Structure 1
Amino acid sequence: MSTAASSAAPPHWHLVGAGHIGTLAAAYVRAAGHGVTVVRPHTAGPIKTTLAFADGRPLQRLTLPTVTPTSIEQPISHLLVACKTPYTRAALAPLPLAATVTAVRLQNGIGSLDGLLPSGARLIDAVTTSAVKGTRAHHDVVAENTTWFGDDGAAPDWFDGLRAHWPNLEWSASIRRRQWQKLVANAAINPLTALHDVPNGALIEDAALHARMRDLVAEADSVLGALDDSWPGDSLAAVAAIARATAGNTSSMRADVQRDAPTEIEAINGWLLRAAAPLGLALPAHRAVFEALRAR
């Protein structure tokens, strides 16, 4: 790293979406010496929350300052996007983004920031396999697994400092492959568990649900293979392993349906349907779950 890069002041991030993953990201960037402010439509003072870690580290108390979009005086140079994808457009529309803003997208699915950033922005996609649950006031960090950041370029100068405080953080020159792997799993597991109100393990135990999961995976592989002939396909074993490892878990889409909230179906199965259309590929299994969740 150059002397100029190493001496650069750490960035200040504005965070959209202080849910479980957003709050964990805020804790990591704060530990690395970066500033972080949460953007909320209506602010009522700072967010005060706690994080408990599975490895027995002391309970971490975190206080995050908040601002409303209209009270931001300078253009935002660094943005963390961790809100649910249905809320992305409304959340970003009023933000004063710098022409060269760096945005890190910590969201499920693909394409949720398309057309929402300035032409000179740098979009860094993030794919995480970490798991957090709990409430807004308390977050249980169940697993700090690998998180990948990446785009078509080299890691930014702040990345190495952040990696020292973000467990298992890696820069990936092949972030699209990581995104697609997670997309296939989300597209197969999430809508079925949401529609049938079952934990992830039901897709292994129930023969009919397992068959539907198999069809969703096969259709996703057909689209991704048509988009990139290096896509290995045969994703069923990996998806089944995820469902088995998280057998007792409630998927995020099932949780959204349970609380009558919008789901991320547009950015997950919807993305596959939109990608398949110009290729002339019909995805009846994905179309079925997409329409069922849209109509609920």
Structure 2
Amino acid sequence: MKPTIAVLGGGSIGLLLAGRLQAAGQSCVVWTKTRSQAERIRREGLGVDEGEGTPSQRLSIEAVPWEDADTFEEGVVLLAVKQTSLTAEFLSRLAVVVPPSATLVALQNGVGHEALLRRALPGRTIILAVTTEGALRIDDTTVRHTGRGDIRLGDDGKANPESLRNVEGMLKAAGFSVFLSKELGIEVKRKLLINAVINPLTAILRIPNGGLTETPERMELARALFDETFSILSEYGVDEQEASWDTVMRVCAATRDNRSSMLQDAVMGKPTEIDSINGEIVRLAARLGRDAPWNRAVTALVKAIH
């Protein structure tokens, strides 16, 4: 049977999505960055470790290197690559593989990717998504679900309601907690607030998410970075400061064993998403005629690590 769902990206979230969808009986293909990862997944299957005493699953699933991906005439493409992957060359290829008849769901951290995607893929149905699910890629074929969160979908009125309901139902059937939002622009900024605190500090300190709450000194750093970031994003529609801080703490607790994507990239010497997260906070502050010294500092430190 021809797959009706494609997951583009063989990282933590991509493998978690693909594994959950395949386990739920949905026809899925994984498009991987490298040929070697696709070959291993085809040969060994995709392993999903849900933890909490749940037996691990090893699933048979189709996997294809991104360079060999066929045009996906119909169905849903879940874009689970980092913002750093959205190069001109990548977007040009994406425009060929994802025609107007397909639906694209964008799961990037930070902001700025929507504008890039809409310019590169005019006429496509593009659904934005933010998730607080925690996942850790153990190797090319295995992912561990390290923290339960949710997935929020929306399009600010630009997508067909039927497409939204289709994606919502597909993800719910795979066991995810899914919500539709008519104000996903604000949801994206709320996720940006969470990422702007957790990601750079875990990358700099080399600790899992839960480690941020383990000492008063770390909590003090996190709160200072949070307060500065919230004060800027509040000018762009984010509200409820203490409730937002509680959300950051809940995410740290729910994903306590998770290593943030920025930490993983820093450890492996890969480019990070720091510019589209804390660097974006600095730019948003500048538009207000303000400075963001904490965000400038963590941006410089993460870049210095790389």
TM-score bucket (shorter structure): 0.7 to 0.9
Q: CA deviation at 1:88?
A: 2.5
Pick closer, same or farther for the CA change 1:40–1:248 going to 2, 3 Å.
closer
After superposition, the C-alpha distances for 1:164-221 in whole angstroms (9 at most, x for unaligned) are 3343223222333332222212111211221122333443344443332222111221
Q: CA deviation at 1:283?
A: 0.6
Q: Corresponding residue for 2:17?
A: 25
Answer yes or no: is 1:38 the counterpart of 2:47. Answer: no
Tell me how many residue pairs correspond in the alignment: 287
Q: Which residue type is aligned with residue 237 of structure 1? A: D
Answer yes or no: is 1:231 the counterpart of 2:229. Answer: no
Q: TM-score, normalised by structure 1?
A: 0.82
1:1-296 matches, cutoff 5 A = 12-30=4-22, 31=24, 33-40=26-33, 42=35, 45=39, 47=41, 48-54=45-51, 56=54, 59-69=57-67, 72-73=70-71, 78-89=76-87, 90-95=89-94, 96=96, 97-99=98-100, 101-116=102-117, 117-133=120-136, 134-153=138-157, 154=161, 156=163, 157-159=165-167, 161-162=169-170, 163-228=172-237, 231-234=239-242, 235-296=244-305
Pick closer, same or farther for the CA change 1:68–1:164 going to 2, 3 Å.
closer
CA RMSD of aligned residues (A): 3.0
Pick closer, same or farther for the CA change 1:282–1:147 going to 2, 3 Å.
same
Pick closer, same or farther for the CA change 1:282–1:67 going to 2, 3 Å.
same
- In 2, are the aligned partners of 1:15 and 1:80 still within 8 Å (CA)? yes
Q: Corresponding residue for 1:5?
A: none
Q: How many angstroms apart in 1 are the aligned matches of 2:46 and 2:3?
A: 23
Q: How many angstroms apart in 1 are the aligned matches of 2:19 and 2:211?
A: 34
- In 2, are the aligned partners of 1:212 and 1:285 still within 8 Å (CA)? no
Q: CA deviation at 1:11?
A: 7.8
Q: How many angstroms apart in 2 are the aligned matches of 1:248 and 1:191?
A: 16
Q: TM-score, normalised by structure 2?
A: 0.79
The answer to which structure has the higher helix fraction is: 2
Q: How many angstroms apart in 1 are the aligned matches of 2:228 and 2:289?
A: 13
Pick closer, same or farther for the CA change 1:220–1:160 going to 2, 3 Å.
closer
Pick closer, same or farther for the CA change 1:27–1:249 going to 2, 3 Å.
closer
Q: How many angstroms apart in 2 are the aligned matches of 1:61 and 1:71?
A: 21
After superposition, the C-alpha distances for 1:61-111 in whole angstroms (9 at most, x for unaligned) are 132231443663566864221112212225333231324653211222222
Q: How many angstroms apart in 2 are the aligned matches of 1:211 and 1:239?
A: 14
Q: How many angstroms apart in 1 are the aligned matches of 2:177 and 2:130?
A: 12
Q: Which residue type is aligned with residue 80 of structure 1? A: L
SS in structure 2 of the partner of residue 108 of structure 1: coil
Q: Which residue type is aligned with residue 66 of structure 1? A: V
Q: How many angstroms apart in 1 are the aligned matches of 2:186 and 2:175?
A: 22
Q: Which residue type is aligned with residue 299 of structure 2? A: F
- In 2, are the aligned partners of 1:78 and 1:103 still within 8 Å (CA)? yes
Q: Which residue type is aligned with residue 72 of structure 1? A: D
- In 2, are the aligned partners of 1:32 and 1:164 still within 8 Å (CA)? no
Pick closer, same or farther for the CA change 1:247–1:197 going to 2, 3 Å.
same
SS in structure 1 of the partner of residue 275 of structure 2: coil
Pick closer, same or farther for the CA change 1:70–1:59 going to 2, 3 Å.
closer
Identity of aligned residues (%): 29
Pick closer, same or farther for the CA change 1:107–1:50 going to 2, 3 Å.
same
- In 2, are the aligned partners of 1:46 and 1:63 still within 8 Å (CA)? no
- In 1, are the aligned partners of 2:156 and 2:185 still within 8 Å (CA)? no
Q: CA deviation at 1:292?
A: 1.8
After superposition, the C-alpha distances for 1:40-70 in whole angstroms (9 at most, x for unaligned) are 4647647232213336256241322314436
Structure 1 residue ranges without an equivalent (≥5): 1-9
Pick closer, same or farther for the CA change 1:291–1:237 going to 2, 3 Å.
same
